[in-house]
Amino acid sequence: MERMNIGVLGTGVVGRTLAQRLVELGHSVCLGSRSADSEAGQEWLATVGTARGASVGTFADAAAHGALLVNATSGGASIAALRLAGERNLRGKVLVDVANPLDFSTGALQLTVVNTDSLAEQIQRRLKEEGHGKARIEGDAHCDWVVIDIGDIIVHVFRPEVREFYNLEKMWSGERPTDPVTH
């Protein structure tokens, strides 16, 4: 594999381990954190050295550096970390997401999405914050497939196997009508 610029977001054991291996494989890696001079980041850099182009920075620095990105932040904080990374630095890039949406704050292990707050509800809230009004959510009792209706845009949230089964892309792959007014 040819040398790539890779941004690893997250200075925990997972982020540092993945980032170290990626450096060993010859890639140019920037490890991102909330602060550019985080202790964990500096420790990692001291271990791997800068000779092979390794660096540390903020989440935004790592996201700007990488053509390929890895999200290895705490699952409950991943959205906050990705916001700090910045939409412009993320746009159009492949993000390998190894984070788990786990919440240990109550002492009992919970999922940060699904148990108390579904992905559809999070999208609905975000759309309202962005000024799109309150989007309608419809879904089946088992939540295999949820539809969020924003008017001009419809968002489908599927479980992976249901998404594969319904294969919406096939529907869109048909011939386009020649006359968009009458069809």
Ligand X SMILES: NC(=O)c1ccc[n+]([C@@H]2O[C@H](COP(=O)([O-])OP(=O)(O)OC[C@H]3O[C@@H](n4cnc5c(N)ncnc54)[C@H](OP(=O)(O)O)[C@@H]3O)[C@@H](O)[C@H]2O)c1
Nearest to ligand X by Cβ — which residue?
Answer: 12
Of 7 and 15, the one with the shorter C-beta distance to ligand X is 15
First-last CA distance in the chain: 48
Secondary structure (3-state) at 57:
strand
Shortest Cβ distance from residue 23 to ligand X (Å)?
Answer: 17
Secondary structure (3-state) at 58:
strand
Shortest Cβ distance from residue 131 to ligand X (Å)?
Answer: 25
DSSP codes joined into one string, 70-132: EE-S-GGGHHHHHHHH-HHHHTT-EEEE----EE-TTSS-EESSSSSS-HHHHHHHHHHHTT-
The site for ligand X (CB under 6 A) is made up of 10-15, 33-34, 38, 40, 72-75, 77, 80-81, 98-100, 102
Of 74 and 148, the one with the shorter C-beta distance to ligand X is 74
Shortest Cβ distance from residue 8 to ligand X (Å)?
Answer: 9
Shortest Cβ distance from residue 143 to ligand X (Å)?
Answer: 23
Shortest Cβ distance from residue 91 to ligand X (Å)?
Answer: 20
In angstroms, how far is CA 48 from the centroid of its own chain?
Answer: 26
Of 13 and 154, the one with the shorter C-beta distance to ligand X is 13
Task: Tell me how far apart the alpha carbons of residues 32 and 16 are, in angstroms, rounded to a whole number.
Answer: 10
Of 13 and 25, the one with the shorter C-beta distance to ligand X is 13
Secondary structure (3-state) at 167:
coil
Of 98 and 123, the one with the shorter C-beta distance to ligand X is 98
